[in-house]
Structure 1
Amino acid sequence: MGNLSGKVALVTGSSRGIGRGIAERLAGDGALVAVHYGRNEAAAAETAAAIAEAGGRAFVVGAELGVPGDVDTLVAGLETGLRAHGEAALDILVHNAGINIMGRPIEVLTPEEFDRMVAVNVKAPFFLTQRLLPRLRDGGRIVNISSVSTRIASAHGIGYPLTKGALEVFSQTLAKHLGPRGITVNAVSVGFTHTDMTAEVLADPTNQERNINLTALGRIGRVQDIADAVAFLASDDARWVTGTKLDVTGGVNL
């Protein structure tokens, strides 16, 4: 604990689920965390309040991603929050926000659905990173949340894995580009994980058993499993790790 003291982090999509777990873990390690939300301000405020109650520091930033002006809105809110806390720069950028329109094989996926996933999962991280690079301190960290669906064929549709595959290529290429500044860039591959968004699917005993049977470690992932991995990549312990994808799936489909 405390190994991120003095650091500043932005975690997109951190009002709930995996993003919230990441925000809480980074704050627990000492970072000032910008808790980003797209639409649910109350959930983001709840996350920030939980961080404060645990002795950490956080502020809320609102901006719906995948719409015109999304990066402008997010950066403006981030700058306001940083000034309020006497900060001007960023050390850790976690691209967690994403959208998965499931059950849409290639025969039925519409251009509008495809564009929406690309806008949120690829375009927003790309251009948000572009805007924040001048504010990201040398020696900083960028972590992109990806999916096991880039390693195994998805049963839920083709569009989401395509976008996450693009994010992984982005990670590797950006790692090479930012290496001279000592900034590491890595992706975290997430598998079957208990969150509010997966609760309905995993409530089906058949689905849960099938997913457990596909996982080498024999259980469904927990939010803390992902948050701990991100905290490692954000820490100085991972200073020599860049351009890689960390598989945090418990061994799905080995």
Structure 2
Amino acid sequence: MGRVQNKVALITGGASGIGLSSAILLAQEGAKVVIGDYNTEGAKKAANNLKEQGFEAVGIFLDASKQESIKEAIDFTIEQYGTIHILYNNVGLTNLQKDLDVVNIDLDEWDRLMNVNVKSVLLGSRYAIPHMIKAGGGSIINTASMAGFAGDSLRSAYGASKAAVVNLTRYIASQYGKDNIRCNAVAPGLILTPAAKKNLPPAVLNIFEKYNALPYHGEPEDIGYTVLFLASDESKFITGQTIQVEGGHYMGNPSMADFNALSNKA
């Protein structure tokens, strides 16, 4: 207990899944948590559940596609708790119906994903950093994705946007390290969030598991614990890094699973 005691944290996209898991763990370890989400009811419900357990939390509306909404979330955090030490830029969008291959992608969807997935990280950091400098430092954590490290048949905009998050993380770390501000990212693989469980059929889950080095899928807590580590002083000499939390899915030769299956048949 107490790994982020008395720290103030803002988590964007914190009403469910990875963001919610991170908010819970940060609160349990002593942080005062602001949960921002487009789903205002979900954000407030999450905060109330934490308060009922004796933790400090509040839920607010946040539209990561709007610059003013991001600024208002930072301003609210400062008004509520006087400072900010931890910013977790977690909001990210994808759309399999419109985010297609390069020839067929909807260009408006490209602009939308770049705005939400990349610009929201820039803006959240832009508005939080001056307050972190006043506080003597802080930790910014961004949600990237393994899609930023590998090509795919679809989701061209999503992959490009997450690759941009990886490099923006390095730029923030380089520019504000002397102010004692660290910036790192987490790149999840397939994580069994409620949305993933609802939308991905067993056949798709089986394909992912086939190519994992580990014999199981990731859970939101696997990302949450990584976020907690990066938010705490345990990672005080780590900055500009993207930690890949993906069960070894992209680690080995991609044909290895098929060769193993062939060997087992022999």
Aligned: 1:237 with 2:234: yes
Q: TM-score, normalised by structure 1?
A: 0.92
Q: What's the C-alpha RMSD, in Å, of the aligned pairs?
A: 1.5
CA offsets 1:215-241 (integer angstroms, 9 cap, x no match): 111111100000000100100000000
Count of residue pairs brought into register by the alignment: 247
Aligned: 1:50 with 2:49: yes
Q: 5 Å matches for 1:71-86? A: 71-84=67-80
Aligned: 1:211 with 2:208: yes
Report deviation, 1:126: 0.5
CA contact (8 A) 1:61 1:74 kept: no
CA contact (8 A) 2:148 2:161 kept: no
Q: Which residue of 1 aligns with 2:82?
A: 88
CA offsets 1:49-73 (integer angstroms, 9 cap, x no match): 121122211112212121xxx2323
Distance 1:150 1:81, change over 3 A: closer
CA offsets 1:149-176 (integer angstroms, 9 cap, x no match): 1222234321101000111110011111
Distance 1:155 1:22, change over 3 A: farther
Aligned: 1:62 with 2:58: no
Q: Which has the larger radius of gyration?
A: 2
Report deviation, 1:78: 4.1
Give the secondary structure class of the aligned counterpart of 1:120: helix
Q: Aligned equivalents of 1:134 and 1:144: distance in 2?
A: 18
Give the secondary structure class of the aligned counterpart of 2:136: strand
Q: Which runs of 5+ in 1 are unaligned?
A: none
Q: Aligned equivalents of 2:93 and 2:76: distance in 1?
A: 27
Give the secondary structure class of the aligned counterpart of 1:177: helix
Aligned: 1:135 with 2:146: no
Aligned: 1:7 with 2:4: no
Report deviation, 1:207: 1.0
CA contact (8 A) 2:192 2:218 kept: yes
CA offsets 1:12-62 (integer angstroms, 9 cap, x no match): 000111111111111111101110011x11111111112112221111221
Report deviation, 1:201: 3.9
Q: Which residue of 2 aligns with 1:101?
A: 95
Give the secondary structure class of the aligned counterpart of 1:33: strand
Specify which structure has the higher proportion of helix.
2
Q: 5 Å matches for 1:106-125? A: 106-125=102-121
Q: Which residue of 1 aligns with 2:24?
A: 24
Q: Which residue of 2 aligns with 1:170?
A: 168
Distance 1:154 1:200, change over 3 A: farther
Give the secondary structure class of the aligned counterpart of 2:218: coil
CA contact (8 A) 1:61 1:81 kept: no
Q: Aligned equivalents of 1:53 and 1:156: distance in 2?
A: 43
Q: Aligned equivalents of 2:111 and 2:164: distance in 1?
A: 14
1:146 to 134, 144, 147: 144
Q: Which runs of 5+ in 2 are unaligned?
A: 252-266
CA contact (8 A) 2:23 2:35 kept: yes
CA contact (8 A) 1:79 1:88 kept: no
Q: Aligned equivalents of 2:74 and 2:204: distance in 1?
A: 40
Structure 1 counterpart of 2:176, one-letter code: L
Give the secondary structure class of the aligned counterpart of 2:9: strand
Give the secondary structure class of the aligned counterpart of 1:198: helix
Q: Aligned equivalents of 2:9 and 2:103: distance in 1?
A: 40
Aligned: 1:190 with 2:184: no
Q: Aligned equivalents of 2:168 and 2:196: distance in 1?
A: 26
Report deviation, 1:196: 2.1
Report deviation, 1:77: 4.3
Structure 1 counterpart of 2:60, one-letter code: V
CA contact (8 A) 2:188 2:245 kept: yes
